[in-house]
Structure 1
Amino acid sequence: MHIAVAGNIGSGKSTLTKMLAKHYGWEPRFEAVDRNPYLEDYYRDIHRWSFNLEIYFLKERFRDLIAISQSEHTIIQDRTIFEGVYVFMENNRSMGNLSDRDYATYMELFEQMISMVRLPDLLIYLRASVPHLVNNIQQRGRDYEQSMQLEYLQNLNERYDDFIYHKYQGRVMTIEKDNLDFLHNPKDLAQIIDRIDATLFGLFPNQ
């Protein structure tokens, strides 16, 4: 089984992935953010490094999908290849950071990749407001994230909603994150677990 956790920068994806992996005994898989050799360059000069960054992420996410499809264990994944395309890549394109030629090349590559894999069994969408995201980003203190503009985060939020509610064809569970603290409040985590149990195993009524 393949479970994925989706959400904007600072929404709590990695934290929830770790906690659910521990609770269910699932194998966690995290995207290689800190190992991306283009990330710091990208935040310094988005226009110059967007294509390089997106191709690297696409390559890594496709490699993850192949590994997930071959695994005999249940995998819970932090961010999917679909978000990389329909949220981050589309946002970079709309900002004028990719040429039509680069975009066409990228999308052709993505379409060939995606024909070889299937959708996750469940996509958990952590939906959060921009102030909530900013607070989390500031708390974790990654230097390359501190210069992000509010408009950038808002644009990503809008694209996430469009992706989840209008483009994604798989099963989705939306979790409104602003009023939850599943890291420090066991009741909040239990509420999420109850919903997952209901969706995947039919143990409780859906709420």
Structure 2
Amino acid sequence: MIGIRDVEVDFKEPNQKFKIAIEGNIASGKSTLLNHFATKEDAEAAFEPVDKWQDVGGKNLLGLMYEDKERWSFMFQSYVLLTMMEVHCKDQTKPLYMLERTAYGGRYCFVENLRKSGSLDLAEYTCYTEWFDWIMKTRRPQLDLIVYLRTSPEVCHRRLRERARNEEVSVSLDYLKSLHDCYENWLGNPDNHSWHGNCPVLILNGDRDVHSHANLFETMRDEILENLAYENPLCQTPPTTNSVAFPLAGKVRRNLEL
């Protein structure tokens, strides 16, 4: 049993484990939501391995990528794919394994955006996508739910400036807008059947300010676990929320404006 504030989710198999990915734009609120989950005994959080990206053979690959996308994007995204697969494949010790982003997000948002902007040429893009497709055929990451924190680029830009990470100084509002478009095309568009691991998608409003909504993350956690229960046949408790649902690739995608 996973107990939360107003929701209890019972699983038919006591040792059943689930993987939930939190996806969204830069500074959309992913790590803050994961930090909230990490305070619960039933969940473990797997954050993006930024520390690895900042020290690759003594070089800050993340910083180099932002400084010169044409030179470093292919190497950086290739390393991101490797390190995110390591996160995906880590042994799970608790009922809920919460991931900050996924290999899918790197492929369908960041790599697509780099290709559209010209930072990846066709040869680099082809090498990456062929490598990604081979991984998906041989070691496809399994997810039970993708949570998309739909956050406006303007809000992301403000939060990014507030956290003042050195490597992100050059990140512009236009760049965040282009990434937002990629996320909307991948996870936010009900007519788009882009492959995302064949799992349900839950869309949450990421613009809300935690300081103005005291119970915001607890409410989000309730919604996430209710939808996990609804989507998974090994869970017995259906959701109690009134949400908008529509089919996507045989699954269910939900919009919840909290």
For 2:87, the aligned partner's letter is D
Instruction: For 1:145 and 1:183, locate their aligned partners in 2 and report how far apart those are by CA, in whole Å.
Output: 24
Displacement of 1:72 in angstroms is 4.3
**Residue type at the aligned position of 2:167:** Y
| Aligned residue in 1 for 2:224 | 196
4+ residue runs over 4 A deviation: none
Q: Could you tell me which amino acid in structure 2 is paired with residue 77 of structure 1? A: L
Contact 1:62–1:113 (CA under 8 A) maintained in structure 2: no
**Aligned-partner SS, 1:2:** strand
**Which residue of structure 1 aligns with residue 111 of structure 2?**
89
Map of 1:78 onto structure 2? 100
Unaligned runs of 5+ in 1: none
Q: Does 1:47 align with 2:82?
A: no
Q: Return the alpha-carbon distance in structure 1 between the equivalents of residues 221 and 124 of structure 2.
A: 41
2:165 to 127, 135, 142: 142
Structure 1 counterpart of 2:241: 206
Number of equivalent positions: 204
Contact 2:85 / 2:141 at 8 angstroms: preserved in 1?
A: no
Distance 1:200 1:62, change over 3 A: same
Question: What TM-score, normalized to structure 2?
Answer: 0.74
SS, match of residue 125 in structure 1: strand
Structure with bigger helix share is 1
Q: After TM superposition, give the deviation of residue 65 of structure 1 in Å.
A: 1.6
| 2:52 corresponding residue in structure 1 | 35
Identity %: 30
Q: How far apart are the structure 1 equivalents of 2:62 and 2:224?
A: 33
Q: CA deviation at 1:23?
A: 3.0
Contact in 2 for aligned 1:199/1:206 (Cα 8 Å) = no
Give the partner amino acid of 2:205. E
Instruction: Say which of 153, 170, 176 aligns to 2:205.
Output: 176
CA distance in 2, matches of 1:28, 1:176: 21
Which of these residues, 112, 115, 123, is aligned with residue 146 of structure 2?
123
Contact 1:43–1:144 (CA<8 Å) still a contact in 2? Answer: yes
Distance 1:186 1:114 in 2: 40
The Cα offsets for residues 125-157 of structure 1, whole Å up to 9 and x where unpaired, read as 111111100111011111221211211110000
State the TM-score, normalizing by the size of structure 1: 0.91
Match of residue 100, structure 1, among 122, 137, 140: 122
In terms of Rg, which structure is larger?
2
* Range 46-55 or range 187-196, more displaced: 187-196
